[in-house]
Structure 1
Amino acid sequence: MEARLVRLGELMVMAGKVARRAVTPPFAPSALVYQVEALGVRSLPIALLTATFAGLVIALQFGYFLGRFGVQYTVGRVVVLTLFRELSPVLIALTVGARVGSGIAAELGSMTVTEQVDAIRALGADPLRKLVVPRVLACFILMPALTVLADAIGMVAGAVIVNVQYSISHTQFFQGALDTVVMSDFLSGVFKGLVFGGIVGLVGCFRGLIVEGGTEGVGHATTQTVAITSVSVLLADFFITKLTLWL
C-alpha cells in the first residue's frame, strides 16, 4: 500500500512538471502534430466501430423498453442524452484510451530499458519536454475530439436502427433529441473526454518511464497501464457526473 501511495505521489509530481513545461517555451508543435496523428488518426477505426455499435445497442434497448410504457416515440431523447453525457466519453476512453495508453507505455518503456531516455538526459535535453508533453497534449486533444465524433456517429446509428426496427422517423428521433438536449449535456461529455485524455496520457507516460526488468517489464507496464487507466476512468466518471449534476 505504501509503495502505491509513493507511486501516486510521483505521478502527481510528474503531472505538475508536465503542466509547467506545456505552457513554457520552447514549444514543439511538430512533435504535437505527429503524436495527434499517431495516437488519434490511427485510432479512428476503433472509435467509429465503438460509436456505431453503442448507438445501435442503446437505441434498440431503449426503444424496446420504452415501448412497454407506450412512450417509444421518446427514444431519441433518451438515446442522445445517454450518448452525450455518458456512453460516448466513457466507451471511447475505455477502448481508444486503452489502446493509446498501452501504446505509449510500450513505446516509452522500450526507450527506458534500452537506455534511450538516459541518453536524452546525457545530451542535456529534458525527457519530459521531449517525450511526455507532446503525448499528453495529444491525448488532451484527441479524446474530446473523438468523443464529439462518437456523439455524431452514435446519433446517426441510433436513428437508423429505430427507424428500421420500430418505424420511428428520423425527423421524430432528432426533433425529440433537440427538444431535450441542452448545451450542458454536450459539454459534460466533452469535459469528461478532456479529463479522461489527461488520465490516459499521464498514466501511459508514467508507467513507461518507470519500467524495470527489461522486455518483461515493458509487457508488465503495458498491461498495468490498461488496468489503471480503465479503473481511473470509471472513478473519474463517477465524480465528474456527481459534480456536473450538482452544479
Structure 2
Amino acid sequence: MTNLGRYILFIGKLFTNPESFRTYFRLIIDECIYIGINSIVLVAIVSVFMGAVSTVQTAYNLVSPFIPDSIIGLVVRDLTILELAPTITAIIFAGKVGSSIAGNLGTMRITEQIDALEVMGINSVSYLVLPKIVATLIMYPFLVILAGALAIGGGYLAASLAGVLGTPDYLMGLKMNFNEFSVTFALIKSIVFGFLVASIAAYMGYYTKGGALEVGQSSTRAVTVSCIAILLSDFVLAQLLLVR
C-alpha cells in the first residue's frame, strides 16, 4: 500500500509546476521516435509470426467435418484484435521500452542528474516523465493497430503458403460476423496498457537508490510489475466492457 500511495502521488506531480508547451513538444517528439518508431521492427516481426502460428494451430485443432474452414479466419481475427495485438504486444513493449525508461531514469537518479534539475527549480517528474507518458499514449495505439494488421496478414501468409486452408476461406472468415466494438475495445486497452507501462517504469526508475546494480534491479521490477498490471487490467477491462 505504501508503494501504491507513493505511485499515486508520483502521478500527481506530473501536472504541478509544468514547463512551457514548446519544451514539452520537443521532448514528446523525441520520445515518440525513441518509444514508437524504434519499436516498429520488433513489433512487426512478432506480430507476423503470432498471426501465422495462430492460423496453423487453429487449423490443426478444428478438424471436425461440421466446422467450415472459414471459421479459422474468424477465430484468428477475433483472437488478434481482442487479445494478441493489444496484450501480447504490451508485454513485449514492457520488456523493451519499460526496462529502457526505468534504466534511463535510474541512471539519472544515481548520477544525481535528477537532483541537479530539482536544485534549478525544475519539476523533474513533469520534465522527465510526462513527455514519456504522453509519447507512449500517442504511439502505442499505432503499434497495436500495426500489430493487428500484420498478425492478420501473417495468418493469410500461413494459410496460403502452408496450405492449411484456402485463402478464400480465410478471407471469408475475416469478414464473417464482424463486431466493430472489438476494434474500439482494443484501442481502449492500448491506451490503458501504454499508460501503465510508461508510468510504472518511470516510477521504478525515478526512485532508484544505490548504484549500477540497483538500476538493473529497477528495470527488472519495472517489467515484472508492468506485466502483472497489464494482465490484471486486461481482466478488469474485459469484465467492464465485454461481459453483460
Q: How does 1:104-183 map to 2 (within 5 A)?
A: 104-166=101-163, 168-183=165-180
**In the TM superposition, what whole-angstrom CA distance separates every residue of 1:34-60 from its partner, at most 9, and x where no partner exists?**
001011111112101110111011111
CA distance in 1, matches of 2:177, 2:56: 19
CA distance in 1, matches of 2:71, 2:20: 52
Secondary structure of 1:68 counterpart: coil
Aligned to 2:215: 218
Give the drift of 1:241.
1.3
User: Which ranges of structure 2 fall in alignment gaps of 5 or more residues?
Assistant: none
Give the drift of 1:73.
2.3
Asked if the contact 1:21/1:133 (under 8 Å) is kept, the reply is no
User: TM-score, length-normalised on structure 1?
Assistant: 0.92
1:85 maps to which of 67, 82, 86:
82
Aligned to 1:234: 231
CA distance in 2, matches of 1:142, 1:182: 25
Secondary structure of 2:217 counterpart: helix
Asked if residue 26 in structure 1 is aligned to residue 23 in structure 2, the reply is no
Percent identical: 27
CA distance in 1, matches of 2:95, 2:241: 25
2:60 maps to which of 60, 64, 68:
64
Asked if residue 207 in structure 1 is aligned to residue 204 in structure 2, the reply is yes
Give the drift of 1:25.
6.5
Asked if the contact 2:69/2:170 (under 8 Å) is kept, the reply is no
Give the drift of 1:169.
3.7
Give the drift of 1:12.
1.5
Q: Against the structure 1 CA distance between its residues 21 and 196, is the aligned structure 2 distance closer, same or farther, given a 3 Å change threshold?
A: farther
Asked if the contact 1:46/1:96 (under 8 Å) is kept, the reply is no
Q: Against the structure 1 CA distance between its residues 17 and 178, is the aligned structure 2 distance closer, same or farther, given a 3 Å change threshold?
A: farther
Asked if the contact 1:92/1:143 (under 8 Å) is kept, the reply is no
CA distance in 1, matches of 2:42, 2:215: 24
Asked if the contact 1:63/1:166 (under 8 Å) is kept, the reply is no
Asked if the contact 1:64/1:72 (under 8 Å) is kept, the reply is no
Match of 1:142, as an amino acid? Answer: M
Q: Against the structure 1 CA distance between its residues 73 and 179, is the aligned structure 2 distance closer, same or farther, given a 3 Å change threshold?
A: closer
User: TM-score, length-normalised on structure 2?
Assistant: 0.93
Q: How many residues align?
A: 241
* Stretch moving more, 121-130 or 105-114: 121-130
Secondary structure of 2:209 counterpart: coil
